[in-house]
Chains A and B, each alone.
Chain A
Amino acid sequence: MTASKRSESEIRHTVRQIQRGDRELFRIIIAEYKPLVIHVVYRLIRQAQDREDLCQETFVRVYTHLGSFRFESKLSTWIARIAYNTCINFLQKKGEVLMTDTACEDQPEFERVSDVPLPDEACITEDTMRLVEAAVGRLNPVFRAIVTLYHLEHMSYEEIAKTLSLPQGTVKSYLYRARQQLKTILEPIYAGDQP
């Protein structure tokens, strides 16, 4: 998960203080969970201005509903769910097709990246990361969210299932399919010259 600067008990104390009316302490929540929100929003949304707006909207929704947060789940899971739902609502309004179980069966074949220079295997360059982001961006939004929460936020299947309101088995299956697609797209980058 994104490196946390504060312990669970410190965060709990901060949230209680905010719930009691200390508005300024919400800056701590923003600082602590900004990387998580940015990961989710930037992976799901393409346009720069939309990303900024949705990051802001996510935190405003977090604050607005913080009074109903009762620590029955981790705050990070709850915030990730709000970020994900905010983005999905936005994409639905834009008319973007989200994945359904049936649509998943009809995923297009992904072409391999064939004309990219192979980076040094020992170091991951900025160019490599740009290609990775481009590849992740070709996945459907649900796959993008699962890959992000699993690999960048190191959430368990259970936490991702709660965040996305999906069964755990579905999360696992979607993650496998997403990585299979990414492997097809990216394999030339890291495995093209292997014996």
Chain B
Amino acid sequence: MKQTHLSDSEIQAWIDGGADSDLERFKLHLDECHRCRKKADAYRQLAVLLDTDPAFTPEPGLEQRVMSALPPHPRQAERRNVDMILALGGFILVTAAALFLGGWKAFAEISPMFSEISASFSGMLSRIELPGHTAFLVPCAGLALLVVALLDHTVLKKHNGLTS
């Protein structure tokens, strides 16, 4: 018999099997060492007990309680935030185009009501002095919102440990 007995971890590794390169050495030792073999038997019996289903008995009606507590469809709920941010980003982009390309003037030709709104809007705009780079910054804000929406959809969900 070898002088050095197997440790508890080595015996458990032998019980579990697997690809440990030392398993053959453990086996040779166990063949010769009564003390370690006795310990291995104890671990084997423990494993049998732990493998046995304890047959927990939950209260009946779990399925019904869960079904009645479910929120709206997960996909719709998840899309709602993203869609709102995308819509807001799109609105900013369109507004920027209307302001800086003069597209809003086309509405004035549709009806007198739009004509009045157009006139007052035009007067208001004429009093506003926009910095030269605003034409660049506003679409950038829209783009930034789109990036946030994308991050919300991917990175943040993953960070919460809820992606597969």
Also in contact, A190 and B49, with CB within 8 A (given A38-B58, A165-B161): yes
Residue of B nearest to A61 (CB): B162
Residues of B within 8 A of A124 (CB): 48-49, 52
- Shortest Cβ distance from residue A157 to the other chain B in the assembled complex, whole angstroms: 9
- Shortest Cβ distance from residue A134 to the other chain B in the assembled complex, whole angstroms: 11
B interface residues, tally (CB under 8 Å) = 41
* A contact face: mostly helix, strand, loop, or mixed: helix
Which of B25-33, B61-69, B90-98, B106-114 participates in binding chain A? B61-69
The answer to the question of B43 belonging to the interface, with a C-beta cut-off of 8 Å to chain A, is yes
The answer to the question of B163 belonging to the interface, with a C-beta cut-off of 8 Å to chain A, is yes
Q: Bound complex: CA of A45 vs CA of B48, how far in Å?
A: 23
Q: Bound complex: CA of A66 vs CA of B75, how far in Å?
A: 8
Contact B74 A65 (CB under 8 A): yes
The answer to the question of B102 belonging to the interface, with a C-beta cut-off of 8 Å to chain A, is no
- Shortest Cβ distance from residue B160 to the other chain A in the assembled complex, whole angstroms: 8
Residue of B nearest to A75 (CB): B164
- Shortest Cβ distance from residue B155 to the other chain A in the assembled complex, whole angstroms: 12
Contact A129 B52 (CB under 8 A): yes
Query: Which residues of A (48-82) have their CB < 8 Å from a CB of B?
Result: 48, 51-52, 55-56, 59-60, 63-73, 75, 78, 81-82
Contact A52 B58 (CB under 8 A): yes
Also in contact, A42 and B56, with CB within 8 A (given A56-B65, A85-B161, A191-B41): yes
Residues of A within 8 A of B49 (CB): 124, 128-129, 132, 186, 189-190
Contact B71 A68 (CB under 8 A): no
Q: Bound complex: CA of A124 vs CA of B45, how far in Å?
A: 11
Contact A179 B164 (CB under 8 A): no
Contact B12 A179 (CB under 8 A): yes
Residue of B nearest to A77 (CB): B164
The answer to the question of B3 belonging to the interface, with a C-beta cut-off of 8 Å to chain A, is no
- Shortest Cβ distance from residue B72 to the other chain A in the assembled complex, whole angstroms: 9
Residues of B within 8 A of A129 (CB): 49, 52, 54-55
The answer to the question of A46 belonging to the interface, with a C-beta cut-off of 8 Å to chain B, is no
Picked from A70, A133, A176, the residue with its CB within 8 Å of the CB of B163 is A70
Residues of B within 8 A of A81 (CB): 161
Contact A151 B74 (CB under 8 A): no
- Shortest Cβ distance from residue A20 to the other chain B in the assembled complex, whole angstroms: 7
The answer to the question of A34 belonging to the interface, with a C-beta cut-off of 8 Å to chain B, is yes
Q: Bound complex: CA of A121 vs CA of B42, how far in Å?
A: 12
The answer to the question of B51 belonging to the interface, with a C-beta cut-off of 8 Å to chain A, is yes
Residues of B within 8 A of A108 (CB): none
Residues of A within 8 A of B162 (CB): 65, 68, 82
Query: Which residues of B (5-59) have their CB < 8 Å from a CB of A?
Result: 8-9, 12, 38, 41-43, 45-56, 58-59
- Can you show 10 pairs from A to B with CB atoms below 8 A apart? A21-B73, A21-B75, A38-B58, A52-B59, A56-B66, A68-B74, A68-B164, A129-B49, A129-B54, A190-B49
Residues of A within 8 A of B (CB): 18-21, 23, 26-27, 30-31, 34, 38-39, 42, 48, 51-52, 55-56, 59-60, 63-73, 75, 78, 81-82, 85, 121, 124, 128-129, 132-133, 136, 147, 151-152, 165, 173, 175-176, 179-180, 182-183, 186-187, 189-191, 194
Known contacts A48-B59, A191-B38; 4 additional CB pairs below 8 A are: A68-B164, A124-B48, A183-B43, A189-B49
